[in-house]
């Protein structure tokens, strides 16, 4: 598989969060990076440049002035970045390593980074403090064409594997029977990492959680009312239903399923943002994030 080893200045901006204009200033003033230039003076950066700007961003975001960073060697830069407490940094060393692993399809680097995090953090902390940031960044990188769908699939599959392993570890043969959570994705929705993690959280809390997976027809949910009492439904709308169809979907869901037994539903995802809550059924609650959702479950 081809490894991405040449990056534009826009790629560096998207991956590091440092504006292209700032990168140019740092190059000119401090000679921090050494890009190659085309005959038309277009900059291209190699993997070493990318690693360096990621590390510089971590150190700079932690409060170290760029003039100080420019005075240290690259080896010392690497050591200083490693010394930063990972869980307290929004743009952490771990997230940067995961990005490098994604770009190079490097499963070994992913596993090494993950295992180091897990040595001093719970899986819950790793997901909420590292993977969530990474997944948000991946969405931005994909929409700006910095990465390909293959990169997204590669890293998403590895993260999903970790969730599944931890679900297996917390499975409870005698879950609480006072409520059943039904987790599913609507028809043509396949982005299941977020809701799969919610499934893990519910099982961790000892609840009965039934995960149906992606692309579930509404009639399948109706059938479940013949099996379980006191159901709470949870769904994640990333791309489907499209934003202008969400109201219609929720109305149909309420009329055909929720209202039958006055059961609640929780939803979140990109296509639920900026919705008018006065237009949705009273027993449907919208959440802005996974963290907000699990706090109320």
pLDDT category of residue 3 using cuts at 50, 70 and 90: low
| Residue-averaged pLDDT of the chain | 88
- pLDDT of 21 over the 70 cut: yes
Residue pLDDT, tens place only, 285-296: 999 999 999 999
- pLDDT of 89 over the 50 cut: no
SS3 of 238, please? coil
The span from the CA of 68 to the CA of 220, in Å, is 61
Domain positions in the chain: 1-81, 85-170, 172-296
Residue pLDDT, tens place only, 260-275: 999 999 999 988 988 8
pLDDT category of residue 2 using cuts at 50, 70 and 90: low
On whether the CB atoms of residues 58 and 96 are closer than 8 A, the answer is yes
Write down the architecture of domain 172-296 according to CATH. 3-Layer(aba) Sandwich (3.40)
The span from the CA of 73 to the CA of 22, in Å, is 20
SS3 of 90, please? coil
Annotation: CATH topology of 85-170 = 1.10.1240
The predicted model gives 185-205 an average pLDDT of: 94
The span from the CA of 83 to the CA of 40, in Å, is 40
The predicted model gives 8-15 an average pLDDT of: 89
Write down the architecture of domain 1-81 according to CATH. Orthogonal Bundle (1.10)
SS3 of 177, please? strand
Residue pLDDT, tens place only, 38-65: 888 888 998 889 888 988 888 888 888 9
Stated pTM of the model: 0.81
pLDDT score recorded for residue 103: 85
**Omega before residue 21 within 30° of 0, cis:** no
pLDDT category of residue 90 using cuts at 50, 70 and 90: very low
């Amino acid at each position: 598989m081809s490894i991405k080893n040449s990056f534009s200045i826009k790629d560096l901006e998207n991956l590091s969060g440092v504006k292209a204009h700032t990168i140019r200033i740092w190059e000119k003033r401090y000679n921090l990076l050494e890009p190659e230039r085309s005959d038309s003076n277009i900059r291209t950066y190699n993997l070493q440049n990318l690693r360096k700007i990621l590390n510089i961003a971590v150190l700079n975001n932690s409060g170290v002035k760029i003039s100080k960073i420019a005075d240290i060697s690259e080896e010392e830069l690497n050591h200083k970045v490693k010394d930063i407490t990972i869980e307290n940094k929004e743009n952490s060393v771990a997230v940067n390593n995961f990005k490098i692993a994604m770009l190079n399809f490097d499963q070994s680097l992913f596993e090494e980074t993950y295992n180091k995090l897990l040595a001093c953090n719970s899986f819950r902390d790793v997901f909420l403090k590292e993977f969530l940031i990474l997944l948000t960044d991946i969405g931005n990188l994909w929409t700006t064409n910095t990465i390909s769908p293959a990169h997204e699939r590669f890293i998403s599959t590895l993260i999903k594997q970790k969730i599944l392993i931890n679900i297996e570890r917390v499975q409870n043969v005698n879950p609480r029977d006072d409520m059943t959570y039904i987790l599913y994705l609507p028809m043509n929705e396949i982005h299941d990492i977020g809701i799969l993690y919610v499934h893990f959280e519910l099982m961790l809390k000892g609840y009965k959680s039934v995960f149906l997976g992606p692309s579930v027809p509404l009639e399948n949910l109706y059938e479940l009312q013949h099996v379980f009492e006191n159901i709470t439904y949870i769904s994640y709308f990333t791309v489907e239903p499209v934003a202008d169809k969400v109201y219609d979907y929720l109305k149909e869901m309420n009329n055909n399923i929720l209202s039958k037994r006055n059961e609640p539903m929780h939803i979140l995802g990109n296509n639920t943002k900026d919705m008018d809550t006065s237009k949705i059924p009273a027993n449907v609650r919208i959440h802005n994030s996974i963290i907000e959702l699990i706090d109320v479950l």
